[in-house]
Structure 1
């Protein structure tokens, strides 16, 4: 791994740490959250996910990068996949900063602003600059990879998981099992992560009621599942024997539709032309379920139509 590639990975890690600190303070410190322009949906929906996804992605990337210690030559697929993960993490930071900046430009929650709001908005500037700098470094780092090697699947993250665990346990059988059932494993992991997030929120804010808990579980589990499928495709978590099929694309679209429609519930409800507004958890669950079914059906039809051409 070259110096440029190492520098790019370290820069992405530093950005992830800075972003996590910013996200935690601005969402968990009540005095700051109360004057934040992005405290409400749809802006808060983005922050709610990236606050967990960015550090998680940085963590697994850092663990895998341990295989690159010693300065010796590395398989090109490993370097490529590490750089892919870094770029995805930086992209998540950039999207979040853009979302927060949009909330500030549109003066969302303007009646709650005070002197602290200006400092929150100003804190976006170094994050934006850092994300831009990391993207430049990562672009240079990717250019150092041989183009023919980037097109080869090579190994995957599960292979390196077995290598990392080799001194403690033989996980090769587990890696093979996960590779065959990667979608089911992603679903189980997403549900577990969602349960942990909702449990933490309940412990800190009190029991909100069964229906609200179901809403939160649905949103986080679906969002995490969509992200896992995205990572598997972009980062090659489990190198597949063949490209993902219609079922994978349909599952991704349906899962992604749940948090998106939840964050944009007022707009979706208005576009559909339903009377009243989304003023209960039951209505929100029905709305998200309907959007998930519609998104999945449209995606499935589009994939099948493309294959018939």
Structure 2
């Protein structure tokens, strides 16, 4: 391997693991007979599964496209970024597997287990084993500490290369469009997160026949914050979109926002346990659900902002997310 890049075999194995994971996850969540026998059909386990069944294929698609676009710009940057993206995807798969094993070990839905439960556990065993192997390979091929600070390219160059092969997009996606995305990366992240949330929350509302506007709005907020945290964190790790340097106050605001988004997901997944620990009993009304989950996110954001603001300011803060100022002029 060169320049601290993960070997291609590890990347392809991570993609194969992602395919198996997605097949097993979609089957367990969308096929009624299988879901009825699943130990992880309820929260907090289902909260993790519901997120990763959408985020894992997004990362897998991006990685697969980059592996197929062999002549894209970047050289060592491409290899290191692809390895990091594969690592992020593997972490999501491993996190989901850990929650699913926890559901099995605590005996969740023990009375409804049957043949399909055995099939699910068998699939989980295979995915878990592959995840361990992929993790070991990626760790061995990880780049040197601080390598991201020297990156000169992001993934948008691949987007231009792919769109150049599609006649309809050839004249629509170019350096000017890429530069716009880089300047307004957070706007793009919010827009994509909201778009995905509308589709998922809308499908959920229709499927469950929700009629309460507050409940629908809450579901939309939950999905949006989940995908927004995913976009920002995965971009910080793998450098999908190079971002120009930002002021300290902007970085604090974004970090606080992400912390709040994560806190909302935790409060939503563990709402019953948290409410019981606070002596409030089970969540029985939509207003309580909305106040508790979104309130936890708001409180976490405020506390995070206060802590980060109180920290001494670095005289010359390094570029964040592994970017350099030269990225804004490259594609």
> What is the count of residue pairs matched by the alignment?
304
CA distance in 2, matches of 1:118, 1:264: 26
Cα gap change, 1:148 to 1:94, in 2 (>3 Å): closer
Instruction: For structure 1, list consecutive stretches of 5 or more residues without a partner in the other structure.
Output: none
Deviation of 1:218 after TM superposition, in Å, equals 1.4
Give the structure 2 partner of residue 97 of structure 1: 97
SS in 1 for 2:39: coil
Give the structure 2 partner of residue 165 of structure 1: 163
Give the structure 2 partner of residue 249 of structure 1: 255
The alignment's TM-score, normalised by the length of structure 1, stands at 0.90
Deviations, residues 250-286 of structure 1 (Å, cap 9, x unaligned): 110111122211111112223344x343112221111
Segment of structure 1 superposing worse, 27-36 or 44-53: 27-36
SS in 1 for 2:41: coil
Deviations, residues 236-257 of structure 1 (Å, cap 9, x unaligned): 1222333771011011011112
Give the structure 1 partner of residue 126 of structure 2: 126
Aligned runs of 1:34-45 on 2, under 5 Å? 34-45=36-47
Deviations, residues 82-138 of structure 1 (Å, cap 9, x unaligned): 111111111111111111000100111223223432332232110111111111222
Deviations, residues 21-76 of structure 1 (Å, cap 9, x unaligned): 0000001111111121111110100000000010111011112222226xx99611
CA distance in 1, matches of 2:147, 2:101: 38
Following TM superposition, the consecutive aligned residue runs of length 4 or more in structure 1 with deviations greater than 4 angstroms are 1-4, 145-151
Deviations, residues 174-233 of structure 1 (Å, cap 9, x unaligned): 211111111121111101001111233344444454233222211111100011110121
SS in 1 for 2:177: helix
CA distance in 1, matches of 2:186, 2:275: 31
Cα gap change, 1:121 to 1:248, in 2 (>3 Å): same
Give the structure 2 partner of residue 113 of structure 1: 113
2:202 aligned with 1:227, yes or no?
A: no
Instruction: For structure 2, list consecutive stretches of 5 or more residues without a partner in the other structure.
Output: 315-331
2:190 aligned with 1:192, yes or no?
A: no
CA distance in 2, matches of 1:78, 1:300: 33
Segment of structure 1 superposing worse, 194-203 or 256-265: 194-203
Give the structure 2 partner of residue 63 of structure 1: 65
SS in 1 for 2:69: helix
CA distance in 2, matches of 1:123, 1:154: 40
